[in-house]
Amino acid sequence: MRVLGIESSCDETAAAVVGADGRVLSNVVSSQIQVHAPYGGVVPELAARAHMTHVMPVVEGALQPIEGGLDGVDAIAVTHGPGLVGALLVGMQVAKSIAFTRGLPLIGVNHLVGHLLAVHLREENAPEPPPYPYVALLVSGGHTALYDLRSPSEIEQLGQTRDDAAGEAFDKVAKLLGLGYPGGPVIDRLAARGDSTAFELPRPMASRRNLEFSFSGLKTAVAQHVAKQGAPRSEQKLADFCASFQARVVDVLARKSVHACQQQGVEDLVLTGGVAANRGLRQRARELCEKAGIRLHVPPISACTDNAAMIAYAGACKLAAGRQDDLSLPVFSRSPVLGEKAHLPNLRSIKRPREPKASRQPGER
Ligand code: KG4
Ligand code: ZN
C-alpha cells in the first residue's frame, strides 16, 4: 500500500509518498522561510497564498518518482489540524479533489500525531525505530508536550507548555537579540561557541515532579535584560548569552523527558519536532538518558521538521486500523488533547446566536 501525504498546516508546503511499512518513496518540501523572514514570524495570509502557489508543483514532484504516478497511490492522507486554517484549507481541498476524482480513501491526520510517528519513517541513514511503548518529546515552533505512545493510535498526553512553545521561545529571543527568523538554528550555532554559565537566567519550571513547561518567564527575563543593558554587542558575549539561554531551555526539556520515561516505566525516548534539531538538546538528552538507562531515538532532521512523509505514514497507520474520513472532513486550528474526537468543537461551549429582535410595528409597545 502506498499513501500520498499532503501537509500545509504552517509555513511548509509538503507532499510525500510512503509505504505502509514507513518506507519513504518520495518526499518534497517547499519552505516559506523567505516569505516570512522580513516579518520575524509566520504571517497567516501570506502562508495561505504561498501554499496556493506551491501546492500543485509540490504534489506533482512527490508523484514523479512513483511508477504510474497517481495510479500507483492507494490512499490520500492530509493534515487537518492543528494549524493555520487558511493554510490547512489549501492542502485539504487538493486532497479532497484527488480522493474524489480517483475514488481513493481520504484520511485526516493530526499534525502532532504525524510528528510523534515520524521516528518510524524508513529512509537512508534513519536509525532503527523504537518499539512501543515509548515516550516522545514534541518540541516545535507551535508545540511543546510529552506523550506516551502505546501504539500508533493509543497516545496519552503527559504534559505540555502552559504558554510559549520552546521553538517560539527560541524565535522570540532571537528577535530580541536581532538575530533574524527562524531563531532556533542561529541560537544553536552561536551557543556552540559560548559559555552557558556566563549569564544568570531563570530556570523555567524546573520542578521535576510535574511534566508541564513554561517558557514565557525566561523570555521576559531576556527582554528585561535587553531593555536594561541592550543586546550583547561583542561576538563572544552574544555567543555566551545564547549558550546561557539555550542551556536553560534544553536542560528542562531533557530532564522532564527522562522523568516522564521513569514515571511511565518506559525505556525508549524519542525527540521530535523542529527543536529536536538542536545540538544542545540532543547532547543533554543523551547525557541524561545514558545515566538513567534509557535509549534515545532522534529521527533525521528532515523527519523532525515539518514534512508530509510523517503525515502519509500516520495516515497509513490509521487506514490499517480501519479508519478513514469522508469528503466532509473539516480543518481545525487548535485541539486541547490528542485523540479521535479531538478536532470536534465542544458543542456545549458554542453559544447559540441571539434571535434577532422583531422590529416593532408602529403603535406597538
Ligand atoms: O517542527 P517545525 O519545523 O515547525 C512547527 O511545526 O513549528 O519547527 C520549527 C521551529 C522553529 O521555532 C525553529 O526556530 C525551531 O523549530 N528550530 C530550532 C532549531 N531548528 C529549528 N530550535 C532550536 N535549535 C535548532 N537547531
Ligand atoms: Zn510541526
Q: Could you report the per-residue pLDDT of 80-138, keeping only the tens digit for each?
A: 999 999 999 999 999 999 999 999 999 999 999 999 999 999 998 788 999 999 999 99
Show the beta-strand stretches assigned E in 50-143.
75-81, 106-110, 134-139
C-alpha 308 – ligand 2 centre gap (Å): 10
Please count the CA atoms within 13 angstroms of the CA of 115 that sit on its side-chain side: 30
264-293 residue pLDDT tens:
999 999 999 999 999 999 999 999 999 999
How far out from the chain centre does Cα 129 lie? 19
Tell me which of 170, 187, 271, 284 to substitute to probe ligand 1's pocket, judged by most ligand atoms within 8 Å of the beta carbon.
Answer: 170
C-alpha 272 – ligand 2 centre gap (Å): 9
Ligand nearest to C-alpha 33? 1
Tell me which of 31, 275, 310 to substitute to probe ligand 1's pocket, judged by most ligand atoms within 8 Å of the beta carbon.
Answer: 275
Tell me which of 13, 139, 140 to substitute to probe ligand 1's pocket, judged by most ligand atoms within 8 Å of the beta carbon.
Answer: 140
Is 147 close to ligand 1, i.e. is its CB under 6 Å away? no
Q: Whose CA is closest to atom 18 on ligand 1?
A: 184
pLDDT of 351 over the 50 cut: no
Confidence (pLDDT) at 209 = 76
- Name the one residue in this structure whose C-alpha cell is 434577532: 356
Q: Whose CA is closest to atom 16 on ligand 1?
A: 274
Q: What band does 206 get if pLDDT is binned at 50, 70 and 90?
A: confident
Ligand nearest to C-alpha 279? 1
C-alpha 170 – ligand 1 centre gap (Å): 8
CA–CA gap between residue 44 and residue 87 (Å, rounded): 7
Is 140 close to ligand 1, i.e. is its CB under 6 Å away? yes
pLDDT of 61 over the 80 cut: yes
Tell me what the pLDDT averaged over the chain comes to.
90
- Name the one residue in this structure whose C-alpha cell is 486500523: 321
Contact call for residues 213 and 166 (beta carbons, < 8 A)? yes
Helix or strand (DSSP H, E) at 242: helix 235-264
Is 313 close to ligand 1, i.e. is its CB under 6 Å away? no
Confidence (pLDDT) at 336 = 57
Q: At what angle do helices 85-102 and 44-63 cross, to 10 degrees?
A: 30
Give me the mean pLDDT over the 229-236 stretch: 92
How far out from the chain centre does Cα 68 lie? 32
Is 22 close to ligand 1, i.e. is its CB under 6 Å away? no
Atom of ligand 1 nearest to the CA of 9: 6
Is 221 close to ligand 1, i.e. is its CB under 6 Å away? no
Exposed, middle or buried, 357 (CB in 10 Å: 0-12/13-18/19+)? exposed
Atom of ligand 1 nearest to the CA of 142: 7
How far out from the chain centre does Cα 25 lie? 22
Is 82 close to ligand 1, i.e. is its CB under 6 Å away? no
Contacts 24+ apart (CB under 8 A), 189-193: 190/238, 190/239, 190/242, 190/243, 191/239, 191/242, 191/243, 191/245, 191/246, 191/247, 191/280, 192/243, 192/279, 192/280, 193/236, 193/239, 193/243
Cis link prior to 182 (omega < 30° from 0)? yes
Q: Which residue has the higher pLDDT, 363 or 69?
A: 69
Q: Which residue has the higher pLDDT, 40 or 170?
A: 170
160-192 residue pLDDT tens:
999 999 999 999 999 999 998 889 999 999 999
C-alpha 106 – ligand 2 centre gap (Å): 21
Show the beta-strand stretches assigned E in the chain.
2-7, 12-19, 24-31, 75-81, 106-110, 134-139, 144-149, 155-160, 268-272, 295-297
CA-based R_g, the chain, Å: 22
Cell reading at 255: 530532564
Atom of ligand 1 nearest to the CA of 168: 12
Longest dimension (CA), the chain: 85
Atom of ligand 1 nearest to the CA of 304: 1
Residue positions counted in the chain:
365
323 CB contacts (<8 Å, ≥6 apart)? Answer: 107, 153
Cell reading at 175: 528577535
C-alpha angle 340-105-335 in degrees, rounded to nearest 5: 25
